[in-house]
Amino acid sequence: MSPERHGAAGSDPERYGAAGSDPERHGAAGTSRVLVAMSGGVDSSVAAVLCQREGHEVVGVTLKLWGGPQDQGCCAVSDVDDARRVCQQLGIDHFVFNYAAEFERDVVEPYVDAHRLGLTPNPCINCNRHVKFDMLLDRSRRLGFDWLVTGHHVRVSRREGRTRLRRGADGAKDQSYVLYMLSGADLADLWFPVGDYRKDELRALADELGLRTAHKPESQDVCFITEAAGRERFLAERIDLHPAELVDTAGQYVGAAPAVELVTVGQRKGLDLGGAPERRYAIDVDVAARRVTVGGADDVTAPGVRLTDHRWADGAAEGDVLAQTSAHGPALAGRLDADGQLHWTRPQRRVAPGQAVVFYDGDEVLGGATAAGHLT
């Protein structure tokens, strides 16, 4: 995968020769070679500035991930141009790495397959896991960079021989949930300069420097789902969608849903319940039977979460933890048993199978897992 180059004439990413990795190096005297993942947003733009201000040799890279239609999310053609223009303003090289095939294989296809099975995937987590902090991090090392830098709102704790991910200083923008899979070995070569800043401080700095990304809106949506077409049309072009019957907890028919593959546990809107006055929620999705069970507010809660595919920061955790079940949801008290299953201190809303559950000790990430159902 040859990078496309923007920036200084004659530049070649292979010229950045091999170098070691010292986890205490950034901020110290001397120059490090850093590769900054430039999304075209304000956070990664300021990350590059902060690295440059510390005297490091900075190179920007933008990933070409999705080649289909796009009108929202990150990684659009305009984002590549914004990243390139910021790098020009800072006087640093800019490259584009094409990972479109890998993105299709490791992010888009699993997203489609999950819906086929009645799961609720998080494609941003898969993108971070397989592309940004697997392939890109590996490439950064092979090119001899000391650090891979991103604009994520997280921090890293390094003490007593232990390296863990921490929440960012701006709690409203914290992104530790979507990066829970990062190991200590990964974190040894990663640097998150904006994690110590609030979002308003970053925008103020970008504005002061006249960066074109200073007031750019944030990307919140899935990059490969267009607002015009939506999720249903995207999936319908790739898998067959089947209507489903809605039944209550006694198994009685109460309505219909246009596509069982589009229903997620906890969903209320979009279910045709014939004008039932009380609120009802999807509490179970059975794709094979083309049936969705619905229930009231009491039915949508559960005493715990059945989990699979655990990823730990430094060994399996057990006992009391705080657990987060969505990117910006609250951290709730619970207990991990010896088998890694989560029991809530008080019953909580069911977690849709396929979603990530991330465990914390204070603001440090202990690890995470994927919801596979609820405990009874």
Enumerate the active-site residues.
127, 223
Among the listed residues 339, 340, 299, 338, the one whose alpha carbon sits nearest the alpha carbon of residue 323: 340
Write the CB contacts of 261 (distance below 8 Å, at least 6 apart in sequence).
Answer: 115, 116, 118, 235, 239, 241, 242, 287
Specify whether the CB–CB gap between 257 and 118 falls below 8 A: no
Residue 17 CA to residue 146 CA, distance in Å, equals 10
**Phi and psi (nearest 5°) for 363?**
-105, 10
Specify whether the CB–CB gap between 340 and 305 falls below 8 A: no
Residue 46 CA to residue 25 CA, distance in Å, equals 20
Helix (H, G, I), strand (E, B) or coil at 148: strand
- Per-residue CA distances from 310 to 31, 54, 55, 143, 252 (Å): 37, 37, 39, 31, 37
Residue 120 CA to residue 46 CA, distance in Å, equals 33
Residue at 79: amino acid letter = D
Residue 7 CA to residue 41 CA, distance in Å, equals 18
